[in-house]
Structure formats: structure tokens, C-alpha cells
Amino acid sequence: MAIKLTDVAKKAGVSSTTVSRVINNYGSLSQKTIDIVNAAMKELNYQPNSLARSLQGKSTQLVGLIFPTVSHPFYGELVENLETKLFELGYKTILCDSANNKEKERNYVNMLSANKVDGIIAGAHNLGITEYENIELPIVSFDRYLADGIPIVGSDNFRGGYLATENLYLHGARKIAILTGTQESNSPTNQRLNGYLTFLEEKELEPVVFQFQTKARSTALKNLEIKRILELEDIDSIFCTDDLTAILVYNLCQELSISVPGTIRLIGYDGTKFIQNYFPHLSTIAQPMIDFADLLVDVLLQRIKNPEKNLENIYTLPVKLIQGKTS
């Protein structure tokens, strides 16, 4: 049976009003009374309802995190860093997995707003979520335009795309292909393609662009498309705009007896701990995961504590090349 506030009051020998005042740090109470009530709550393992306190104008100390899926190494690592950082600062997190589903993301936004969390960090890439335009909560976006006035934190995607292409070129590649998404969402990550195109234009090389649908796309179908590219296209290198796609390419090269980097040079993008630990041979462009978490939390707390403060529209962090054995 759930422990109620009245149970705490009975245990402590005080009124329910006194228990409520202790929980909400309201009014003048003796330290002895505060200690007795806290001891009773601890003994009964009573958990105050932070959402109910928010209705009285109190901070919930809750932050909503909306991301596509924590099963992806990149988002899993970022969410872990965010949760750790927020916990250190006294905040709990509510994790919402949008699963590339617009309606699911819209429902989560409305749920977080109704429960009056202190703020939201959003990094999903669904289109047409108009709720972000009208919500009255502090919000910070990760690598995605949500609405005017919502700050975006991301890395230098253009520079990353340029660096990846340059790395392949410096190792002798001239027929450089890129495997990327559809560029449908208004996301700064689209700049990876622009960095690739700019470098090739400077070197007067022809781009070879393959765009994959990011939604409703099975790994098996993606493998078939990559296999067709490897077997039929006249290319000597591939820049994948995410590491998991790069690993699919690498595995298929092994299956087809295509030498990497002898016949095909390969570079990915993201550089998570998972990739560095389990696929250290992969050349990749690493994003600053810990810095992302620090900056996202810092910008969000600025919005929570000083809503009128003018913030930058976009915060851009640098990327770096990790030279592996595939390029």
C-alpha cells in the first residue's frame, strides 16, 4: 500500500499541514520539527510528489529528454552524459524515446508540458511538431531546428564533412562517394553533405551522392543497397555520415572480398566510445559528447533561471578526426 502524507504526519506526531510545509520548505518551523518529519519520511520511505508541488509554483527538478532511440550508440552515450550531468546538479530526468514517430513525439511534448517539468532537451528529427512553437517551457534543441527562439547546440557539421572528404583525398582517393540521409529534416547535420560537396568542388571532382531513407528502413534493405553500390559503382572511397552505416559498409566489403583500405577507403562520423572501443580500426569524425552534454545542460539552466536572457541561436562545437586503418 502506498504511503500517504497523512501516514507521515501520524508517524511524526504532527499535522498534515506541517508535513506539507516541511516538504515545500514553506513557513517558519523549528529545526526539531523538520528533523522529526524528515526522519518519519525516511523511515516510511515516503516519496513526495514533485509534480504536485509544481502546481504550487515549486520547481519539479525534472527535465525531459526527447531523443529518437537510446539503442543507437550515439544517442545512448549522449543521454547517459546528460542524465549524469543533470543528476549532479540536482535534477532527475524523464526519458522519452520518439522512435522516429511524429505522433509519439507530439504526445511526449504535451505530457512533459502538462506535468510541468522544468525544461526539455530535444534531439529527435521528426517533422511538423508545431507544439514546440507554442509551448511555454524552457527548451534547448540538439542539432535540429524546432522553432524560432529555441537555441540549437551541435557540432561543426560542415567542417566535419569537409575533414572526412579531405582525409580520403589525402590518402589518394579521387572517386569519393557519400552515404547520407535524405536531408528532409531541417537539421544542422545536413551540413555534412555540404562540407563534402564543397571540398570536391575545390578539387574539381565529381560528387557521388547516395541518400538513404532514414525512416522505415530495415538494416537488411540498407545492406542490399550498399552491396549494389559496392558491386556496381565506380568509386574508390566512401564517406558515411554515421558510424553504423560505415560498419555495414566495412562488413560487406569483407563479405565481398573487397580490400579496405586497399580497394575502398572508408570513413565514418560520430566517434562514440562504443565505436572507439569495439571498432578502433574505423577512421571517423568524432563529435564532442561530453561537451555536448555540458553545453546543453548549461544553456537549458540559463533558460530556466533567467527566461528573459538573450541566448545565441546556434552553439557550435568543434569536431576532430580519428585516424583509423580504413582510410
- Give per-residue pLDDT as tens, 6-18: 889 999 999 888 8
Report the pLDDT value the prediction gives residue 111, as an integer from 0 to 100: 87
Report the pLDDT value the prediction gives residue 98, as an integer from 0 to 100: 83
Task: Compute the chain's Rg from CA coordinates.
Answer: 25
Who's near 280: CB < 8 A, 6+ residues apart?
324
Instruction: Say whether 267 sits in a helix, a strand or coil.
Output: strand
Q: Are residues 142 and 249 located together in one domain of the fold?
A: no
Pairing verdict, β 139-142 and 152-155: parallel
Q: Are residues 269 and 172 located together in one domain of the fold?
A: yes
Q: Are residues 12 and 93 located together in one domain of the fold?
A: no
Report the pLDDT value the prediction gives residue 58, as an integer from 0 to 100: 62
Sheet holding 237-240, edge to edge: 208-211, 176-180, 237-240, 265-270, 283-286, 320-322
Over residues 314-323, mean pLDDT: 96
Question: Which helix H or strand E contains 321, and what residues bound it?
Answer: strand 320-322
Domain CATH code at residue 15: 1.10.260.40
Q: Are residues 202 and 306 located together in one domain of the fold?
A: no
Do residues 223 and 212 touch, judged by C-beta distance below 8 A? Answer: no
Q: Are residues 193 and 270 located together in one domain of the fold?
A: yes
- Span 49-73, pLDDT tens digits: 655 554 455 678 899 999 988 888 9
Over residues 26-44, mean pLDDT: 86
Q: Are residues 299 and 151 located together in one domain of the fold?
A: yes
Report the pLDDT value the prediction gives residue 216, as an integer from 0 to 100: 46
Instruction: Say whether 71 sits in a helix, a strand or coil.
Output: coil
Kindly state whether residue 164 falls inside one of the protein's structural domains.
yes
Kindly state whether residue 325 falls inside one of the protein's structural domains.
no
Do residues 37 and 22 touch, judged by C-beta distance below 8 A? Answer: yes
Report the pLDDT value the prediction gives residue 26, as an integer from 0 to 100: 65
Q: Are residues 114 and 259 located together in one domain of the fold?
A: no
Do residues 161 and 241 touch, judged by C-beta distance below 8 A? Answer: yes
Domain CATH code at residue 97: 3.40.50.2300
User: Rounded to whole angstroms, how far apart are CA atoms 15 and 12?
Assistant: 9
Could you tell me the sign of the dihedral formed by the alpha carbons of 24, 27, 32, 37, in that order? negative
Q: Are residues 165 and 234 located together in one domain of the fold?
A: yes
Kindly state whether residue 322 falls inside one of the protein's structural domains.
no
Half-sphere exposure of 162 (CA within 13 A, CB side): 14
Cell of 80: 547517459
Instruction: Say whether 210 sits in a helix, a strand or coil.
Output: strand
Do residues 269 and 243 touch, judged by C-beta distance below 8 A? Answer: yes
Report the pLDDT value the prediction gives residue 144, as an integer from 0 to 100: 87
Q: Are residues 69 and 182 located together in one domain of the fold?
A: no
Cell of 62: 525534472
Kindly state whether residue 57 falls inside one of the protein's structural domains.
no
User: Rounded to whole angstroms, how far apart are CA atoms 153 and 191?
Assistant: 14
Kindly state whether residue 308 falls inside one of the protein's structural domains.
yes
Who's near 208: CB < 8 A, 6+ residues apart?
175, 176, 177, 178, 233, 235
Kindly state whether residue 55 falls inside one of the protein's structural domains.
no
Name the residue type at position 189. Answer: T
Indicate the pLDDT class of residue 148, thresholds 50, 70 and 90.
Answer: confident
Name the residue type at position 212. Answer: F
Q: Across the strands, what pairs with 267?
A: 239, 283
Q: Are residues 24 and 72 located together in one domain of the fold?
A: no
- Span 277-318, pLDDT tens digits: 999 999 999 999 999 999 999 999 999 988 888 889 999 999
Indicate the pLDDT class of residue 139, thresholds 50, 70 and 90.
Answer: very high
- Span 204-259, pLDDT tens digits: 999 999 998 755 457 888 999 999 999 999 999 999 999 999 999 999 999 999 99
Report the pLDDT value the prediction gives residue 215, as an integer from 0 to 100: 53
Pairing verdict, β 314-317 and 119-122: unpaired
Q: Are residues 294 and 280 located together in one domain of the fold?
A: no
Domains in the chain, number: 3
Reply yes or no on whether the pLDDT at 159 is more than 60: yes
- Span 68-124, pLDDT tens digits: 888 889 999 999 999 999 999 999 999 999 877 888 888 888 888 877 789 999 988
Which of 132-146, 152-166, 195-209 is the least confident region?
132-146
Cell of 164: 572526412
Neighbours of 12 (CB within 10 A): 21
Do residues 143 and 288 touch, judged by C-beta distance below 8 A? Answer: no
Domain membership of residue 19 as a residue range: 5-48
Do residues 94 and 62 touch, judged by C-beta distance below 8 A? Answer: yes
Q: Are residues 260 and 184 located together in one domain of the fold?
A: yes
Kindly state whether residue 327 falls inside one of the protein's structural domains.
no
